[in-house]
């Protein structure tokens, strides 16, 4: 896990946005080139060219969830994840096993519709133990840890155990998304950050 200063993070984010936009354009060009409708079309015809340009523009817009996924993975991977322990709503928007109508669903639909790559994106697995458990003692008990007389020590230890679990789940998901983008990059000669 990498945490960056604001300047480095902003620079990396700006680069990722530029690379993602170029990637979406390459995928759109590939999909249009593979469209049988244009195999024998007169590419010198201005009407055909306008139709192709419009289709490319529409595809880029439709494929935007792919770029958004790349940016979200970068954001999660590059920032401190402790707030996800308390509030996992951002993760549900991206896609957990408990999410419905999330970003991963959108990307998987595009993947299936356009046969982008064989691999389907997996959801973020959430740990069984979270902050909904009533007490630090219950969290420590869940992890099989001894409870101390010191409440602050119990709280700190419980929080660290939760963080490690959440961090592990997010890392596994991030690695799976990286692998998915490696396949996309290989097939379409794109440079989505992986």
Q: pLDDT tens-digit profile of 132-169?
A: 666 888 889 889 999 999 999 999 998 889 888 888 98
Q: Work out the mean pLDDT of the chain and round it to a whole number.
A: 87
Taking the C-alpha atoms of residue 155 and residue 134, their distance in angstroms, rounded to an integer, is 12
DSSP letter (8 states) at residue 123 = P
pLDDT of residue 181: 95
Residue carrying structure tokens 């064989």: 118
- Domain extent listing, the chain: 6-188
Strand, helix or coil for residue 119: coil
Q: What confidence tens digit (pLDDT) does each residue in 29-71 have?
A: 999 999 998 888 888 889 988 999 999 999 999 999 999 999 8
Per DSSP, what are the bridge partners of residue 121? none
User: To which H or E segment does residue 124 belong?
Assistant: none
Taking the C-alpha atoms of residue 96 and residue 141, their distance in angstroms, rounded to an integer, is 26
pTM of the predicted protein model: 0.85
């Amino acid at each position: 896990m990498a945490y960056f200063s604001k300047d480095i993070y902003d620079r990396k984010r700006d680069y990722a946005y530029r690379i993602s936009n170029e990637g979406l354009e390459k995928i759109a060009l590939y999909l249009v080139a593979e469209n049988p409708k244009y195999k024998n079309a007169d590419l010198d015809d201005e009407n055909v060219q306008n139709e192709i340009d419009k289709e490319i523009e529409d595809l880029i817009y439709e494929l935007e969830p792919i770029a958004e996924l790349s940016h979200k993975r970068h954001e999660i991977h590059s920032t401190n994840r402790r707030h996800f322990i308390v509030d996992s709503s951002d993760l549900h928007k991206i896609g957990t096993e408990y999410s419905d109508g999330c970003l991963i669903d959108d990307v998987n639909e595009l993947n299936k519709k356009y046969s982008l790559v064989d691999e389907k994106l997996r959801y973020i697995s959430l740990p069984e133990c979270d902050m909904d458990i009533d007490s630090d003692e219950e969290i420590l008990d869940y992890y099989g840890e001894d409870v101390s007389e010191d409440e602050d020590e119990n709280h700190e230890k419980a929080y660290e155990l939760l963080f490690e679990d959440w961090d592990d789940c997010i890392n596994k998901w991030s690695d799976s998304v990286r692998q998915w983008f490696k396949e996309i990059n290989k097939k379409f000669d794109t440079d989505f950050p992986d």
